[in-house]
Amino acid sequence: MMPNRLVRCLAGVYGCQWKRYRGTRMQQGDCCCNKLEGASFALLLTAFCLTLVFLYFWSQAQNDYNDFDWFNFMNLGFWVPWSVVLLVVAASFFTYMAVLMLLAVCLLSEGQKLYLHWSHKIGIGVSLVFSVGAIAVLTGLWGDEWETLVLSFQVTAPYLHVGGVLLATALGWPVALHFFCMNSRVRRALVLALYLGGLVALYLSPLGMYSPCIMEKGTLGPAPGLIGHRGTPMLAPENTAMSFEKAVEAGSLGLEADVTISYDGVPFLMHDVTLLRTTNIQEVFPDRTHAPAALFSWAELESLNAGAWFLSHNPFGTVASLGAAERERAGNQSVCSLRTFLELAAARRNTLVIFDLYRPPRGHPYRDSWIQRTLEVIHNESSIRSQQVLWLPPDLRAVVQEIDPELQQTSSRLPLEELRRNRIVKANLHYRDMSTELIGKYAAANITTNLYVITQPWLYSLAWCAGVHSVTTNAPHILRALHTPLFLMTPGEYNVMWILTDVASFILVILLFFFHW
């Protein structure tokens, strides 16, 4: 039993009944609220669940926040870390709904009738509109993120199960109280069926749980190697020499880049079609802001600054972690050529390189010889060994293999027979294609697997448990610090964990109902 003053305080916050509160408890046969308040509580419960789902969904999407922010930048034309803004708003709405739910449960546990203030009812409506709208918009624009959500359960499900069972057990107190206050047998049966049905579903949910990180001791393979995605874009401007040097310093197995060919035939590194996002093109060539990067000469590209944007936009929120000298160096980075990139890897004879190669637009002098020009740089203008190059471009693969059979042929997801026919030695898959079965099939055919782009430690842990050979990452300096997966448990340990949780909860629920009876 709570002190009367505390109950008065809870009722005051929930319904602003500071003066009207009388401290009366429900009597036998009373209902917890009238129809209007019952509907308000149902909406509160719905809003709580929706804000919880959206908050969990968006928090697990952190791996792709950078893509989301740049998508908005390219469409809106100005930089705001919308992903973080959305996370803060989602957390605020969830906290608000959670506080109201906690107040309602506490009042119900004390046998108090519910009277929700009209201002809270408006807040619930706003929360509902936000959650439904955000889920609908993100599903339309970014529906693949739901696959990331499903993957996250392979790490979080055991802990979500324990938390859900504890919450359901705690709800047994108000449920039992109101169950024995009801005179209607139909209502009693309905309440009991709903509560016990949900409880049993929670109890049995681990039977459908799968995670590659639930394995026998001694079966965990080596940690996946790290390939710096455009270098280390969290610590330096992407696709610049500084970014790749940071990746090498972090112990990366390889380096990943995006290659475009200038109008005069110099392959250089640039991810986007235009130079707008990662250079000062608006200042140097204001009338060519939206022109394709491939239509600039190498001399024009060299005149651009490719680092100042990193300091002004701070895309990963990490600029403050850099020292003054590093910030100055980052701000003075220039567009990096393929030759410079390859030489940096060649200096470390075991460092691999992998790159996307973009075909120049129509009318470009190297439109039909972009493959040959790139191979010329690899063979004649750099000292890198062919064995260090993971050749990813699918165009003219047979010709490339004939010219240089020592290049490590790499491909996106294809049927196993096609990979064998093309003599592929590494499969480059999106992390959402992560599958222990698929990775095992590739391994049996002597094809290693690389997943892209993994930044969050929990995703890296899953890849580790699944037997992935390497991952492309924005954060090699973070992932290298992981010495074991975040979640790792033997089947026996997991079974003991969820069975003990269920048994303890079941005993407590019986005791709660017995007490109120």
Q: Which of 511, 449, 485 has the alpha carbon at shortest distance from 227?
A: 449
pLDDT at 156: 94
pLDDT at 114: 81
Residue 337 reports pLDDT greater than 90:
yes
> What does pTM read for this prediction?
0.90
| pLDDT tens for each residue of 186-206 | 878 888 899 999 999 999 999
- pLDDT range class, residue 27, cuts 50, 70, 90: low
Arithmetic mean of pLDDT over the chain: 92
SS3 356: strand
Residue 352 reports pLDDT greater than 90:
yes
| pLDDT tens for each residue of 387-441 | 999 999 999 999 999 999 999 999 998 899 999 999 999 999 999 999 999 999 9
Q: Which of 340, 356, 378, 388 has the alpha carbon at shortest distance from 258?
A: 356
- pLDDT range class, residue 111, cuts 50, 70, 90: confident
- pLDDT range class, residue 16, cuts 50, 70, 90: confident
Residues 176-208: b if buried by 16+ CB within 10 A, e if exposed: bbbbebbeeeeeeeebeeebeeebeebbebbee
pLDDT at 134: 95
- pLDDT range class, residue 505, cuts 50, 70, 90: very high
Q: Which two tokens stand for residue 216?
A: 């026998």
Q: Which residue in this structure is represented by tokens 């009876």?
A: 517
Q: Which two tokens stand for residue 326?
A: 């590093």
Q: Which of 142, 132, 139, 136 has the alpha carbon at shortest distance from 64?
A: 142
Residue 10 reports pLDDT greater than 80:
no
Tell me the sheet residues that pair with 354.
Answer: 256, 390
- pLDDT range class, residue 124, cuts 50, 70, 90: very high
- pLDDT range class, residue 168, cuts 50, 70, 90: very high
The residues, any chain, with a CB within 8 Å of residue 184's CB and separated by 6 or more, are: none
Report CA-CA distances (Å) from 175 to 32, 115, 192, 303, 459: 11, 18, 8, 71, 39
| pLDDT tens for each residue of 34-86 | 677 778 889 999 999 999 999 999 999 999 999 999 999 988 888 899 999 99
pLDDT at 19: 57
- pLDDT range class, residue 181, cuts 50, 70, 90: confident
Q: Which of 319, 346, 317 has the alpha carbon at shortest distance from 244?
A: 346
For β-strands 254-261 and 267-269, DSSP reports them as antiparallel
Q: How far apart are CA 362 and CA 334, in angstroms?
A: 27
| pLDDT tens for each residue of 371-400 | 999 999 999 999 999 999 999 999 999 999
